[in-house]
Amino acid sequence: AQKITQTQPGMFVQEKEAVTLDCTYDTSDPSYGLFWYKQPSSGEMIFLIYQGSYDQQNATEGRYSLNFQKARKSANLVISASQLGDSAMYFCAMREAVSGGYNKLIFGAGTRLAVHP
Amino acid sequence: KAGVTQTPRYLIKTRGQQVTLSCSPISGHRSVSWYQQTPGQGLQFLFEYFSETQRNKGNFPGRFSGRQFSNSRSEMNVSTLELGDSALYLCASSLAKTGSNTEAFFGQGTRLTVV
């Protein structure tokens, strides 16, 4: 069963505006980690932000913030002040601690973001 | 600090051949995991190594194998290549031995084309 759901195949945003990319997840493990990665057309997966299931505060990294709503199993990525270079594919991923999850990431299908000038 | 290095970046192979891909993790990272990315299946976990031991394996046929060396560098091998093996292969390195509270960093990937 798919554990990470990204419902937006594509998103458009005007330069300098904020955009939210949705991610919901499903797990019965109380200890897990949530990740967002950016993948430009070059193919490299660029780590953006991480949220642990026990973290009390939402993670932030520069223009990126993660809106973590544990009860709703939601981990949306917010990009503030979009830039043209933000145009890329964005993946939400989860790592579970139990069942030998270790460093096995489960990825969503991704959201393609296009930033317009 | 150097990032995750994957070599080669591009490969073209013929059906039936075998291929070996290499991944050098970030210095100090002992966990290396491999992923296959295709347009149809998305990103799928292949396997993960920690301290030269495979800890986890995804749902791939036995033609896909891997290993990790004492310096944490990892290789994955695909034997008897099929057209469907054409994909971007990504490796990720991570510091932690267990648990979920650490980041995983990816290399630039190896794009394999099977003709």
Q: What is the pLDDT of residues B58-99, one digit of tens each?
A: 999 999 999 999 999 999 999 999 999 999 999 999 886 655
Average pLDDT rounded to a whole number, residues B34-49: 94
Choose among B15, B11, B23, B3: nearest CA to B88. B11
pLDDT tops 80 at residue A98: no
For residue A78, what pLDDT is reported?
Answer: 98
Q: Of A32, A42, A102, which is closest to B55 when you measure between CB atoms?
A: A102
Q: Of A44, A46, A103, which is closest to B33 when you measure between CB atoms?
A: A103
For residue B52, what pLDDT is reported?
Answer: 92
For residue A102, what pLDDT is reported?
Answer: 63
For residue B2, what pLDDT is reported?
Answer: 73
pLDDT > 70: percent of chain B = 93
Chain A residues closer than 8 Å to B92 by CB: 45, 103, 105
Which regions of B14-86 does DSSP assign to beta strands (E)? Answer: 19-24, 31-38, 42-50, 53-57, 64-68, 74-78
For residue A100, what pLDDT is reported?
Answer: 53
Q: Chain B contact for A31, CB < 8 A?
A: yes
Which neighbouring-strand residues pair with B20? Answer: B77
pLDDT tops 80 at residue A106: yes
Mutate to test the interface with B, among A37, A44, A45 (most CBs of B within 10 A): A45
pLDDT tops 90 at residue A32: no
Chain position carrying tokens 């919901």: A24
Q: What is the pLDDT of residues A53-86, one digit of tens each?
A: 888 899 999 999 999 999 999 999 999 999 999 9
Question: Residues near B39 by Cβ (< 8 Å), separated by ≥ 6?
Answer: none
Which neighbouring-strand residues pair with B10? Answer: B111
B91 vs A31 pLDDT, higher one: B91
pLDDT tops 80 at residue A1: no
**Are B94 and B105 a contacting pair, CB within 8 Å?**
yes
For residue A96, what pLDDT is reported?
Answer: 74
Cα dihedral: A96, A94, B64, B112 (round 10): -160
Choose among B73, B45, B90, B18: nearest CA to A103. B45
Distances (CA, A) of B26 to A46, B54, B107: 14, 18, 10
Average pLDDT rounded to a whole number, residues A36-51: 93
User: For all residues of chain A together, what is the average pLDDT?
Assistant: 91
pLDDT > 90: percent of chain B = 80
